[in-house]
Every structure is written in structure tokens, then in C-alpha cells.
Amino acid sequence: MAVSTIALYSSPPSSVCSASHQISSNASYDLDVNARSAPSASASPSQKPLVGGLSCLFASPAIKSASYSSGAEDLGALWHDRAEELGSSYRYSSLTSSMKRDQAHQSPVSVLQGLNNSIGSGSRSPPLRISADFSSIRSGSGGMFKGFVRHALGSCVDYESSPFDLDVKDFDLSSSSNALSADELHFNMDENFTAIDLPAYAKGLLSDAQSKNSIFRDDFVVKAFYEAEKAHRGQKRSSGHPYLQHCVETAILLANIGASSTIVAAGLLHDAVDDSFLTFDHISSSFGAGVGDLVEGVSKLSQLSKLARENNTACKTVEADRLHTMFLAMADARAVLIKLADRLHNMLTLDALPLIKQQRFAKETLEIFVPLANRLGISTWKEQLENICFTYLYPDHHQELSSKLLKSFDEAAITSSLEKLEEALKDAGISYHCASGRHKSLYSIYSKMSKKKLNMDEIHDIHGLRLIVESEEDCYKALSVVQQLWHEVPERFKDYIARPKCNGYQSLHTVVTGTDMVPLEVQIRTKEMHLQAEYGLAAHWRYKEGDSQYSSFVLQMVEWARWVMTWQCEAISKDRTSVGFTDSVKPPCTFPTHSKGCTFSWKPHCDADGPIFVIMIENDKMSVQEFPANSSVMDLLETAGRGSFRWMSYRFPVKEELRPRLNHKPVSDPSCKLKMGDVVELTPAIPDKSLVEYREEIQRMYNRGATPLAAGPVASFRS
Ligand SMILES: Nc1nc2c(ncn2[C@@H]2O[C@H](COP(=O)(O)OP(=O)(O)OP(=O)(O)O)[C@@H](O)[C@H]2O)c(=O)[nH]1
Ligand SMILES: Nc1ncnc2c1ncn2[C@@H]1O[C@H](COP(=O)(O)OP(=O)(O)OP(=O)(O)O)[C@@H](O)[C@H]1O
């Protein structure tokens, strides 16, 4: 079966998203990544197919606005960095907690809490390839980070005096202009649970989501929408837009890559616990532990990301690498996906924040989230994130490059070249699996120019075609078709089939002068070679990360995470099956279930000695530490202790006693085992002031030649 895909961006960029389209040379050559999407005049950015590595080329705020007409720009720039901006943006109203709870009880969602719990068994639509019973997955405490989160958020919640104060006219919901009216909202749940219970702006959001993706008509997802509305009622983002809008846009991004209803529901609820009185347990009991665990996982990732951002942790390569690994290994890979969608929407609406914060978030996104999207193989999101970061971090370079490229991007040339190639292949009787074309993204061009010290004319793959054929022989036959169609640029031919790269990468590359003299890089490979180039040793994510030496632990984990993505996201799964990847029905390695039974979490079974990465906070400084498998808190204290012999100048080591807290709770049993992503805070048992006094006392004694006494305050030290 052949699949033709071209995903391009129009110039001017206002049609970037709606220009995504496919060419089916045969009706059965369908690669409909938006299978569930309702027809929509304005496709969202994430409706672009993943095949071919799509790029969002123009990420400047103005252009973004033009591009994301389906919703994102309507939010304006609304990101509220909850933990950082609480004072300025959120406030408590005069409502007391109990009043808030009462209010919650009267909300439509309380009606739902009595619904049959089977609704909470995860997805109404069955998982794509393997059926999984999420209801059997329990989260344990369900609130490990809750105290931490509460503490961090402080007075973050802005409860309006009336949940219905918000009126649709207060918000720019132009994205809903073509949406259904509230009366037409689709759901079919409890008869007491009607659209009338929703404030007008929320009805607009729901109908808008339903018009974009039919998964928002799924009862389970609608129920999650109501719960999210209840949780965020009255809350606004920095720009004044309702917080719920962010949750819905995050969920739409997930829906548009074909995520299951469990993931979409968790996307709607991803901030519900951190920002309201809802608990993980409540979410688990209402929606099943699958959703509860995901929301908890996202919350934990958010906290770690905030810590890392505040400490600028990821600026060090080693720690950044550890963070990438930790993020993937500590949580269900689907939680990482939700966190990425959350970050993408926040980046799309970054304008509302002050410059310094825009840059801090852009830097963190580039250091942590882009590599995660790369590792998960979500290339559309990766490229959008990169391009947005580029705009904020290097506005001058971005401006310069985009103005040059505006002139040279020629997607019409790619479309016509692809058509021409397909026609010629047909005439020559060469069958192929997939033919695709892509523009290189602005940021990718910028990176390549910086890394290789090239100017723009020296980048030959700004426009590229890729052909996946059946056999090696067909590769060469197709090459000669290409050579007959166009002029080859001298010295640009590479035969990585005859001479594979060290990592095993195989493909034929040539650069031709295509239609209108646009240089066109053509890659030709078999599907086995392609799988190697996407998922194997020569995987694109590894190629893009450079020369890193990965432990088998990291490699297995990424492979696992990608497999989960394939399994859980229709679009990615179609991408793989279009080139004949059939192994996606089973994990690439025999992984056991997660300790709490979660089949989506990675566990280093194949390599039981894989390291554990732990966040250590000592003297208010955060670091990511690596420990061998099965290490305990005691082992960590030993390591920390080694760095804590503070007064070596006294010629005897004095180590302050450290009081560890594990995930915000005092440690009662230091032999307890550390887990990936644990946060260990080390605080001296002795207050700072006393330490100074003790130090002076010891110094005095030492000067007098006396032995430090074991009695009194000095007893608090142990060497
Ligand atoms: N997945 C994967 N792709 C690769 C690898 N090496 C090269 N490629 C692809 O091949 C393209 C060009 O590779 P080469 O022909 O070797 O070109 P180059 O010398 O690296 O640079 P240019 O010729 O300037 O593009 C890259 O843009 C990638 O798309 C690899 O190890 N893995
Ligand atoms: N000629 C091509 N045709 C179709 N897709 C391509 C082509 N070259 C690369 N791609 C895909 O485009 C996506 C974006 O790749 P990107 O342009 O960032 O890097 P690259 O071209 O693969 O590498 P480099 O920047 O080192 O040349 C990836 O999914 C990649 O596999």
C-alpha cells in the first residue's frame, strides 16, 4: 500500500495550518490522522500529520495569531504561571473554604459523582491496539505531592463571587464562531446534567472543542469537561481569560494527535488538583485511577519543571540529560505527553507574561521539553515549541531568517515535485510505501547554520522529499527516476546503502534542482531502513541529540515511551503502520508492569541495574543526582554527607546532621528505597544561627588546643 503525504505551510503564514493536506494517489492510500476530527474550516495546528516531520515555520507572535485561527490565538497571551505569579494574578475572594465546597456540591459535577463508576474505567473508545483495564490501576496515596503543591501554590486561586459572573461576551471566543450553539452541544449523560448548568463561556468552549474533534462528544470526556469547569470556575489567566480555556486547548492538542479519551480527559483535568480543592483521590474515584494517576503524574512533572526552571538546572548538560531521563522514567509516558501539550499551549500564549519570564520559559522549554518531544517522536509539537522559543530567545535572528525564508520557502514546488515524482514512479512501474515532503523548520535551519557554520545558501535540505520503497533494488531504480526528472547538484549524492553510517543509518540522498530551480533533497530508503532511521539505532531523535552516549537504560526507556505513544496516539500509530511497522502490538521489550500496576510506566526490567535520578535540594539549591538501582535514603545521605564536611580547615571533619524530607515528608526510615523522580530535601538539623555560634566555639577551642566537647551543642555534630 502506498501513502502519499505532504504537509506544508503556506506562505503567507496565515494558512500554515489549513494548508496541511494529503495527496492520495489511490483511495486506499489514506493516512487520515484526524480520523476523529469533525470537518472544520480552520484546522488547528496540531491537526497536521506527523509524517514527514512537520514544521511550524513562523512562530512570531503576530504570525502565530494568524496561523492558529482555530483557537490558540483567541486565548491571547494568557499563561498564568501559577506558582510564580500568584500574587499578581490570583486572589482569594471573600468566600470561605467551606462556602467554596458548598458551591462545589451544588455544581453540576456533583450530580455526576454518583454516576456509575464504570464511566471511570478509562476510555470509552477502546485503546487502539491493546485493551487495557485502567480501572484496575490504582494510584496509591493519590496525593503524594498534594501538600507540596498546595504549599507551592499558596493563595493561587481566584474564586469569583459567582461562578456565573463570567459571560461569554467577556471573552474573545471568536474561535467558537463556527461552533455549535449551546443547544446543540453533544452529550448524552445524566438527564440532570445539561448544558444549561454551564456558564455561557464554558458552553462556548465545549461546543468549540466539539466542532474541532468528535472525542469531545464522548460522555467520559464531557464529564471531565464539567469537572474541569467546576475546578477552575472563576479562575482567570494573567490576561483575564478563563483558565478553563487553557485546559480545553490542551485537551484539543491531545485529541488532534489522536490521543485516547483517557488522555484527553486527563488533559482537561491536568491542573484541577493543583488549582482547586479537588483531590487526586476524587479524580480517581470519579474517572478511574487511570485518569487520577495521569493528573497526579502531570502535577509532579510540573513541580519538578518549576524547580528546575528556578534553579536553572537544565543549563548543565549532564543535569539536563538526567532530567529528560527522569521525566520519562518517573511518570507514565502519557503524563509526559499531557505535560507537553500543556507546555505547548502555554508557549502559544506566552505573550501575556513579562519579557524576563517569557525568556525563562522559552529557555526551559528548549532545554527540557523540546528534547522530550523529540524523544517521544512528536515532531509537530517539537518543531512548534522550537520555533516559538526561537522567537522569544533570539528575536533578531528569528526576524532576519524568517524574512529571508519567506521569500525562499516554496511549498508549491514541493507539492508539484512530489506529484511529478509519483507520476514518474508509476510510469516506471516502481511501487512505493510512502512519499512525503517537508519544509525544514525555521529553527532547524537556524540550528544547522549555527552548528555547521553555514550560510543559508549552503543548506540544501530546506525543501525535501522522502520515498519509502519495498526493496534495495527499488531504491536504486527510484534514484534513476529522480535523476531523469531533475538535474542533480554535483557532489551532493550520498549512498548510505552501500556505505551505511556507523550507527547503521541507510538511505540514498541526493540533491536536485527541482521545479523553479529550488534545491530539493531527496531521500530514498526501504521500509526496514526507515524503521531503523526512526526507531532503531540510527533513530532520528538520537541523530538530533548529537553524539551523546546513551546507557541501555535510556535507550530502552525511550523505546518504551515511543511504543506507548504509538499505542495511545492514533496519528503516531498510523505513521508507523503506513510504513509497515507491525510490532507495535507488543512492547519492544518484556517490561513488567509498574510497581502499582501501571502498564504505561517504564520500569528498568531489561536492565535492572539502571540508575535512579533523584532531585536533591540542599541549601535551597536543586541538583539532579544519580544513584544506582536500589539505593536508599541512607545512601543518599552518605553521598550528601561527603560534600558536607564543611570545616576541614579545622583539621577535623565536622558534618552537620541533615534532616531529610522525602517528597515533602520527614523520613522515618532512612533505609527506604529511592525511586526515580523522588525529591529529597536536606535541611540541617541545627538552625543557621546556632551553626555560627558552634563554629565560633569550636574555633575558639581549637585555637586553645582543646578537644571539642561531645557535650552540649557540639553533640549535635557528628563526624
Ligand atoms: N534518522 C537519521 N537520519 C539521518 C542520519 N544521518 C543523516 N540523516 C538524515 O539525512 C539528512 C542529511 O544527511 P547527510 O546527507 O549525511 O548530510 P550532512 O552531511 O549531515 O549535511 P547536509 O548534506 O548539509 O544536509 C539529515 O538531514 C537527516 O534527515 C541518522 O543517523 N539518522
Ligand atoms: N528530505 C526529507 N524529506 C522528508 N522528510 C525529511 C527529509 N529530511 C528530513 N526529514 C524529516 O523532517 C523532520 C525534521 O527534520 P529536520 O529538518 O529538523 O532535521 P534533518 O533534516 O533530519 O537533520 P539536519 O537538520 O541535521 O539536516 C524529521 O522527521 C526528518 O526525518
- pLDDT for 466-476, tens place per residue? 999 999 999 99
H/E stretch holding 702: helix 688-704
pLDDT over 50 (residue 324): yes
Q: Which ligand sits closest to the CA of 540? A: 1
Question: Does the pLDDT value for residue 454 go beyond 50?
Answer: yes
Identify which of 588, 584, 475, 579 has the alpha carbon closest to the alpha carbon of residue 531.
579
What span, in angstroms and rounded, lies between the C-alpha atoms of 153 and 92? 12
* Nearest to 422, CA basis, from 29, 53, 49, 10: 29
> In the numeric block, which cell numbers belong to residue 479?
534514484
468-494 residues labelled b (16+ CB within 10 A) or e (exposed): bbeebebbbbbbebbeebbeeeeeeee
- Cell 510505501 found at: 433
Burial degree of 343 (CB within 10 A; 0-12, 13-18, 19+): buried
- Ligand 1 proximity of 544 Cβ (cutoff 6 Å): no
Which of 59-63, 117-121, 289-293 is modeled with the greatest confidence? Answer: 289-293
DSSP state for residue 530 in the 8-state scheme: H
| 440 touches ligand 2 (CB under 6 Å) | yes
Q: Which of 463, 477, 549 is nearest to 513 (CA)?
A: 463
Q: How far is the C-alpha of 469 from the C-alpha of 527, rounded, in Å?
A: 6
Question: Is residue 179 scored above 50 in pLDDT?
Answer: no
Distance CA 478, CA 467 (A): 8
Q: Is the CB of 538 under 6 A from ligand 1?
A: yes
Question: Which ligand sits nearest to residue 521's alpha carbon?
Answer: 2
Nearest in space to 263 (alpha carbons), one of 341, 344, 179, 345: 341
* Cβ 236 vs Cβ 243: under 8 Å: yes
Centroid of ligand 1 to alpha carbon of 231 (angstroms): 48
Specify the pLDDT at position 517: 75
673 - beta bridge partners? 632
Task: Give the three-state DSSP class for 53.
Answer: coil
pLDDT at 636: 86
Amino acid at 273: V
Residue 567 has what pLDDT?
A: 65
Q: Are 314 and 172 in contact (CB under 8 A)?
A: no
CA end-to-end span of the chain, whole Å? Answer: 71
Q: Which helix (H) or strand (E) is 613 found in, with range?
A: strand 612-618
* 533 CB within 6 A, ligand 1: yes
9-21 confidence digits (pLDDT tens) = 323 222 222 223 2
H or E, element range at 420: helix 411-428
Name which residue sits closest to atom 9 of ligand 2, judged by CA.
464
Dist. CA 120–CA 137, nearest whole Å: 11
Q: Which ligand is nearest to the CA of 379?
A: 2
In this predicted structure, the answer to whether residue 644 has a pLDDT above a threshold of 80 is: no
The mean per-residue pLDDT over the stretch 363-378 comes to 91
Check pLDDT > 50 for residue 220: yes
What's the CA dihedral at 448, 453, 455, 459 to 10 degrees?
Answer: -40
Q: Residues 233-258: what's their mean pLDDT? A: 93
Residues in the chain: 719
Question: Using CA atoms, how far apart are residues 157 and 273, in angstroms rounded to an integer?
Answer: 11
Q: Is the CB of 380 within 6 Å of ligand 2?
A: no
pLDDT for the residue 570: 61
Pocket test for ligand 2, best of 440, 448, 459, 479 (most atoms within 8 A of CB): 440
Q: For residue 561, what are the CA distances in angstroms to 104, 131, 445?
A: 37, 17, 28
Supply the angle between the helices 442-452 and 395-408 in degrees, to the nearest 10.
Answer: 110
Contact in structure between 645 and 654 (CB atoms under 8 Å): yes
CB atoms within 10 A of CB 397: 16
Residue 566 clears pLDDT 50, i.e. is over it: yes
Predicted local confidence at residue 571, as pLDDT: 58
The most distant pair of C-alpha atoms in the chain lies apart, rounded to whole Å, by 98
C-alpha 578/C-alpha 544 separation (Å) is: 23
Measured in angstroms, how far is the CA atom of residue 467 from the centroid of ligand 1? 15
Alpha carbon distance 416, 420 (integer Å): 6
Q: What percent of the chain is modeled with pLDDT above 70?
A: 59
Which has the minimum average pLDDT: 49-58, 256-265, 392-401? 49-58
- Cβ 542 under 6 angstroms from ligand 1: no
Q: Are 146 and 279 in contact (CB under 8 A)?
A: yes
Determine which of 238-252, 614-628, 705-719 has the lowest per-residue pLDDT on average.
705-719
The one-letter amino acid at 543 = Y
**pLDDT for position 83:** 36
Percentage helix, strand, coil for the chain under 3-state DSSP, each rounded to 5 = 50, 10, 40
| Residue 496 CA, ligand 1 centroid: distance in Å | 10
Over range 494-498, report the average pLDDT. Answer: 97
Tell me the average pLDDT of the chain. 68
pLDDT at res. 196 = 56
Q: What is the CA radius of gyration of the chain?
A: 27
Q: Is the full-model pTM beyond 0.90?
A: no
Q: Exposure string (b/e) for 112-123, b if CB count within 10 Å is 16 or more?
A: beeeeeebbbbb
- Nearest residue by C-alpha to atom 22 in ligand 2: 540
Cell reading at 141: 496515596
- Here the cell at position 31 is 493516512
d(CA 557, CA 332): 11
Burial code of 604-640, b = ≥16 C-beta within 10 A, e = fewer? bebbeebbbbbbbbbeeebebbbbeeebbbebbbeeb
Q: What is the DSSP letter of 385?
A: H
Out of 59-68, 496-505, 513-522, 590-599, pick the least confident: 59-68
Q: How many CA atoms lie within 13 A of 452 on its CB side?
A: 14
485 vs 718, more confident: 485
For the CA of 444, the nearest atom of ligand 2: 18
- Out of 227-236, 272-281, 605-614, 669-678, pick the least confident: 605-614
Q: Where are the alpha helices (DSSP H) in 461-617?
A: 472-485, 527-534, 540-545, 552-568, 570-578
Instruction: Ligand 2, residue 52: give the atom nearest the CA.
Output: 5
The residue to mutate among 447, 530, 540, 578, having the most atoms of ligand 2 within 8 angstroms of its beta carbon, is: 540
pLDDT of residue 314: 78
Give the CA distances from residue 534 to residues 52, 588, 679, in Å, rounded to whole numbers and listed in that order: 11, 14, 34
Mean pLDDT computed over 76-101: 32
CA nearest neighbour of 219 among 120, 114, 105: 120
Position 38, amino acid: A
Q: Which pLDDT value is given to residue 537?
A: 78
CA distance 564 to 407: 40
Which position has the higher pLDDT, 548 or 449?
Answer: 449
Rounded Cα gap, residues 343 and 29, in angstroms: 34
